[in-house]
Each structure stands twice: as structure tokens, then as C-alpha cells.
Amino acid sequence: MADSATVLGVSDDTLRRWAEQGRVATTTTASGALGVDGAALAGLAADRAGLAADTPSPGPAGTSARNRLPGIVTAVKRDTVMAQVDLVCGPHRIVSLMSREAADALGLEPGVLADAVVKATTVVVDKPA
């Protein structure tokens, strides 16, 4: 349950409450502990994100980027040409490097709400041990 709760970004208690409410089906693990089947967890995660499990995430009109993480700027480090912008998006820290001109034009400072929009040709996917 703890690992499933972490994936969803909620507490163990919240996930247990959702299970009691029938929002997600639970299983018993080999060790006898309460758990959530991977497919059920994926369905709940897609539901929480407002997605159908088998459809791509819709992006805003005018962009092909589909990975949009709402967050808040926590730090901005500027030099004469570049800026490093740190955002916290849920439990995740996202760091963006951009021109100082872009950071200034967007008014990026700690406390500003901003979205991290990710479109990459390479995304490394790790599977925890």
C-alpha cells in the first residue's frame, strides 16, 4: 500500500480510505499484506489525472507537448545569459535551464505559479529494483 500511495502522491491512509470506499480494488500480497494490483493502480492514476487509461493526455491548443506539470517556482538563479529555474510540481523537483531573457519575460521568481511542460526526444525510464 505504501508504494502504491507514493505512486499516486497520497498518504497510505488516503489510499486505504479509497479502498474502503470502493474507489480501488485491493489484493493480498504473497506476504499476506494488503496491496493494489498494478492495473488497478494505473487506472486510478489515470482517473486522478483526468485521463482515460487508453488515451493520450490532451495538451492545450497550439502545442504538441502533452506532459504538463503544474507547480510553483522555488528558486531562480540568473547570470548574464542563462537562468536556472527550479519548480516543485507535486512531490517532484523540476529544473529548467533557459535564457535569462525568457525567465525575465515570464516574470519567474520564487512563489510564482508555473507549469513545467516537458517534451523530450529521450526519456529514460527506470524500473525500481
pLDDT block averages, 10 residues each, the chain of length 129: 84 91 89 87 80 54 75 94 92 92 96 88 77
Q: Which residue(s) pair with 71 in the sheet?
A: 114
- pTM, to two decimals: 0.57
CB 99 within 8 A of CB 47: no
Structural domains in the chain, sorted by start: 2-48 (no CATH), 67-118 (2.40.50.100)
